[in-house]
Structure 1
Amino acid sequence: MCSYLHKAPNGVYYFRMGIPADLRPFMGGRREIKRSLGLKDREAAKALIPDMTKAGYALLSQAKRDQAASKPAPVPATKSAMQIERERTRWEHDQLQADLVADDLFANDMEIERLEPVMDALAAGGQVDAPPADIAKAVKLIVANERENAGALIASMQARYGNDARPTETKNQAVECGPGKGIYLDTDIVDGWAAERKPSPRGKDAYWRDAKLFNTMIGRKSVELITKADVMAYKRLLIADPKRSQINVRDRLAYLRTLLEWAAQEDIIPVNVARDVKMAINERRERRKDFSTDDLNALFAGPVHAKGERPKGGFGEAVYWLPLIALFMGARREEIGQLRVQDVRREAYIDDADKRQMAWCIDITDTPDDDALPNQIKNEASNRLVPLHPKLIELGFIDYVKGLPDQSGRVFPGLKPVGIGNKLTDKVGQWFSRYKQQCGIGDKAKVFHSFRHTWKTHAVDAGIPERVCRQFQGHEGKDAADKYGVAPSLRVLVSAIESFRIPGLNINDLLSIDKIK
């Protein structure tokens, strides 16, 4: 057995040695010593472990010497109930902001994708066959892109040569500067981070664009030469750009922090110099709203659920079940849309009377299979097995799944991947935005994602504990303690979901169950 040898998802072997908790402050706060062996052959990788182990113990010995030479660390004060509540509120706010950013990115991408043919025709100087409103939007996007390119170049030159600098080229080109290892943010770091974290193509492209933006404004330098002063200068340049909102600046800094944090964890750089550089937000923005009971009754009295009608987009039964599952389970739209038949199954558990029971569950996972399109989840906490709400079983969801012709395929075979991210449900989201208006819900702050907000509101009202809510919604815990031994059991999850209800929702009277195909 080779305990320090670990295989990454990409097949490359790593040396990993845990760092004792008391020595972590003297090793940059890291939890482990991690080195890529650059090999996919296990026997060849094992041959390197003795030398790596010797080097690892040498690092630990140095940390012990540093510890002995330091003053004893102060004992952290016990947190008050008010502090814990503030941290919980801040954590929930961060989760909400992350979801809102994802929604905004998706909406922007969809608008650009829709108008790409119009922008191409305008750039080529050809005849444009599009409504005047679309032509106007396309022109604005083209102009905004040109301004951003020019502005980024000017900002870069001013950062390096002063406010009187003028670009001598028209290209948006980063300046190579300084000696170093030759490990760059926009190539090596983005590629390495993406190989380990497996983001969607759209997600990787977003990080690459931000790395290029940083290089353009500050200068392209080997990553270990990037200083905190560089990051602060980058922040000031972003803030000075009148076209950028506070939220945009916050997101740009967050993307940079993520890349540098990965580089620090991989020992490419000694410390993440952007870790403490953040953007305070005081802008007011329209938050996603819950669906009211009247909204829900109106939605499920609409033609899709009450009359069995289906849109012409070829979505099939997804338009019927996705809103119901999102409402009663609190799951994300894409998580539901990518379910495979094998992900809907019965699981055993022991109830409060010590009797063996079986529960229908859905397994939300990124585990690959023979499908050419792998599942996508938001983070590691999004991998979860949760029991179905009894109402979904009563309404016939299990019967629908059992009746699918292809029992080795997906639960909603009518959904097709679109866009750079190969998302199955993006078009469903666009359809829902129109459909809810047809049902009389015109509030723009009420979107498909509002089902998740609605679920959380009623879950809290039902007295479901926070850690159980996190399990159902696939949220990460607030601190490190949440990662050890606190995942709720299936027994607890079954009891919780059975208690979930929405007062005033007349679901059985509204749905046309016999018209499910």
Structure 2
Amino acid sequence: MAGKVRHLKVRNGRYSARLVVPKELRSIVGKAELETQLGPDRRQALARLPGAVASLQAKIAVAERQSNAGKPVAARYPMTPEEIAIANYQLLIAFDLEIREHDPRFANAGFDDLRVAGLRAGMAGRLTDDALDELVGYQIEHFRNRGNTDAVKGTTEWRRLAINLCVSEYEALARKVERDEGDFTGKPAHPLIADAPPAGTPHEPVLLMKLLDDYLTMLERQGKGREARKRWTPVFNDLVAFVKHKDAARLTKKDLVEWRDKKLETLAAKTVADVHLASVRAVLTWAVENDRLPSNPADGVKVKKSKSVRTREKGFRDDEAIVVLKACRNYLPAVTANPSNRESAKITAAKRWAPIVCAFTGARITEITQLRKQDVRQVGDDYVLRITPDAGSVKTADYRDVPIHDQLIDLGFIEFVRESVDGPLFHNGKSDDALKSARTSSGRVSNWLQGLGVIPEGVQPNHGWRHRFKTVGEELGVSSRVLDAIQGHAGKTAGDDYGDITIVAKRNAINRFPRYEITSNG
């Protein structure tokens, strides 16, 4: 049984090419569908289908330009310069056959020797862009009108397209010469035409930004990827700008390698690998898995990262931790007569409380600076703080409750929370920008500590507490599974998902952490 052919419709024994008009263009086109009759013979209909579809697509492309008031738009039915050259060759060959059937004078017509010489020079790449434009520019416009290209004169893509069109027309003229002598067996000699598969119907674009949006929407439905949209959208916009089109189906491994190399000129290898390539690879992999793309051009595109040299532990040592925490607990903001220069009370609170809360929870700094008053509460005899995505962001997209160490209570943390107004404890942001505000507070704490000169080289001012918590916990013999539950680390095995780590288990672990010998003024 013959398979279904895209855009080919049959009704009452007759075939037609039919295209659905995009909703946003129907008011201009005046129809919801466009259709061209192809006749009753299936073989002839299949032969005529690509040309008929291309003509219908051209009408839609014209309507799209009208809707954009003449502004440049991306090709709706994109084809590579090579595909366009093959399509042009086939159009010229088909025209040659058709005109011979209607006008005997055609076989006796001569050639424009200057044009033939120009095509040879164009094929060889000897012509300027202006000369190429004069020679084949009208053909480029023909395929632009069909929605097959948005190449701009002066770009590498436009020049490659112009040269390829010189090849296709020169080869078509060679066939005409052969046919004028009665030889209809001639084959193209140039590898661009000779080695290429037949040009099919121009494909519908697989828009990169649509793939990104669909992938992120899927993640968000699962409660994941809350920060990915903000971080990944600029990456995909940058890729689109680099390749100068929006079609994921046209992406090649070469495109991504060149983009990677361009990014490495200004960005760290880790950033390019872990943000740029990782995001693109994830979306394209999902597209392949969901039959949106046939293959993933990002496969095998990697960044060689130099191994960082470590000369010490990642976390604070005992003496270093005490120096930092003393500075935090004794901190007082600078006094100024100008109210506009005064430090926010919540930034002051972040500098005084966030580091020591991190020291006794092993939490990420932003998980602490995004805490709200309602996130600190009493459960039975225990005070706990809830780290939840509702407050801003949690890497695992899951809440966790962490008991509050007795030293924090003795230092007045619970009183500080009780006396605070409802809402965030350490920033003034609203709910729609809470994460950004919490990160700002985290950065202010980090910059302040760096400025004091109390952060050892090789230690991150905020993340150093996370490393220290795990190190001290291991020294105390606390179960790694309990430590992971307190810190919000994913389990290492499937078995870690069985059973719950209770508040009691976490409290017993937290109680084993020793107090810091620090003084405080409040």
Q: TM-score, normalised by structure 1?
A: 0.52
1:366: which partner in 2? Answer: 389
Q: Given residue 322 of structure 2, which amino acid in structure 1 is its aligned partner?
A: N
Query: Contact 1:471–1:487 (CA<8 Å) still a contact in 2?
Result: no
- Tell me: CA distance 1:307–1:225, structure 2 relative to 1, closer, same or farther (3 Å): closer
2:396: which partner in 1? Answer: 379
Where 2:305 maps in the other structure, the secondary structure is coil
- Give matches, 1:79-478, under 5 Å: 179-185=202-208, 187-198=209-220, 203-217=228-242, 220=245, 222-223=247-248, 230-231=252-253, 234-235=256-257, 238-239=260-261, 242-243=265-266, 245-251=268-274, 252-264=276-288, 268-269=292-293, 274=298, 277-284=301-308, 289-302=314-327, 304-306=328-330, 308-309=332-333, 312-314=342-344, 315-348=347-380, 358-367=381-390, 375-381=392-398, 383-404=399-420, 406=421, 408-412=422-426, 414=428, 422-438=436-452, 440-441=454-455, 443=457, 445-478=459-492
- Tell me: CA distance 1:386–1:196, structure 2 relative to 1, closer, same or farther (3 Å): farther
2:509: which partner in 1? Answer: 496
Q: Given residue 401 of structure 2, which amino acid in structure 1 is its aligned partner?
A: L
Q: Given residue 389 of structure 1, which amino acid in structure 2 is its aligned partner?
A: H
Query: Contact 2:333–2:348 (CA<8 Å) still a contact in 1?
Result: no
Query: Contact 2:236–2:280 (CA<8 Å) still a contact in 1?
Result: yes
**Match status 1:506 vs 2:517:** yes
Between 1:463-472 and 1:201-210, the stretch displaced more is 201-210
**TM-superposed deviation, 1:250:** 1.6
Number of aligned residue pairs = 326
**TM-superposed deviation, 1:294:** 2.2
Distance 2:438 2:250 in 1: 41
Between 1:384-393 and 1:321-330, the stretch displaced more is 384-393
Distance 1:332 1:174 in 2: 50
**TM-superposed deviation, 1:325:** 0.5
Q: Given residue 389 of structure 2, which amino acid in structure 1 is its aligned partner?
A: D
Query: Contact 2:226–2:393 (CA<8 Å) still a contact in 1?
Result: no
- Tell me: CA distance 1:483–1:440, structure 2 relative to 1, closer, same or farther (3 Å): closer
Q: Given residue 388 of structure 2, which amino acid in structure 1 is its aligned partner?
A: T
Q: Given residue 459 of structure 1, which amino acid in structure 2 is its aligned partner?
A: G
- Tell me: CA distance 1:174–1:443, structure 2 relative to 1, closer, same or farther (3 Å): farther
- Tell me: CA distance 1:325–1:172, structure 2 relative to 1, closer, same or farther (3 Å): farther
Query: Contact 1:203–1:421 (CA<8 Å) still a contact in 2?
Result: no
Deviations 1:297-341 (A, max 9, x none): 222332x52365578421142221101101110111221112122
Q: TM-score, normalised by structure 2?
A: 0.52
Query: Contact 1:464–1:496 (CA<8 Å) still a contact in 2?
Result: yes
Q: Relative contact order: is structure 1 or structure 2 higher (C-alpha 8 Å, sep ≥ 6)?
A: 1
- Tell me: CA distance 1:244–1:391, structure 2 relative to 1, closer, same or farther (3 Å): same
Deviations 1:169-222 (A, max 9, x none): 6899999x994443322x212223333445899742431232234445556464
Distance 2:218 2:306 in 1: 34
**TM-superposed deviation, 1:426:** 1.7
Alignment RMSD: 4.4
Where 2:379 maps in the other structure, the secondary structure is strand
Query: Contact 2:376–2:383 (CA<8 Å) still a contact in 1?
Result: yes
- Tell me: CA distance 1:360–1:421, structure 2 relative to 1, closer, same or farther (3 Å): closer
Distance 1:173 1:204 in 2: 30
Distance 1:261 1:329 in 2: 37
Where 1:291 maps in the other structure, the secondary structure is coil
**TM-superposed deviation, 1:482:** 5.4
- Tell me: CA distance 1:472–1:202, structure 2 relative to 1, closer, same or farther (3 Å): closer
Query: Contact 1:239–1:246 (CA<8 Å) still a contact in 2?
Result: no
Distance 2:157 2:404 in 1: 53
- Tell me: CA distance 1:376–1:320, structure 2 relative to 1, closer, same or farther (3 Å): same
**TM-superposed deviation, 1:403:** 2.4
**TM-superposed deviation, 1:469:** 2.0
Deviations 1:107-147 (A, max 9, x none): xxxxxxxxxxxxxxxxxxxxxxxxxxxxxxxxxxxxxxxxx
Deviations 1:393-419 (A, max 9, x none): 222212221222x3x423335567999
Where 1:455 maps in the other structure, the secondary structure is helix
Query: Contact 1:286–1:445 (CA<8 Å) still a contact in 2?
Result: no
- Consecutive unaligned residues of structure 1, counting only runs of 5 or more, are 1-155, 349-357, 368-373
**TM-superposed deviation, 1:263:** 3.5
Where 2:278 maps in the other structure, the secondary structure is helix
**TM-superposed deviation, 1:375:** 2.0
- Tell me: CA distance 1:499–1:429, structure 2 relative to 1, closer, same or farther (3 Å): same
Q: Given residue 388 of structure 1, which amino acid in structure 2 is its aligned partner?
A: I
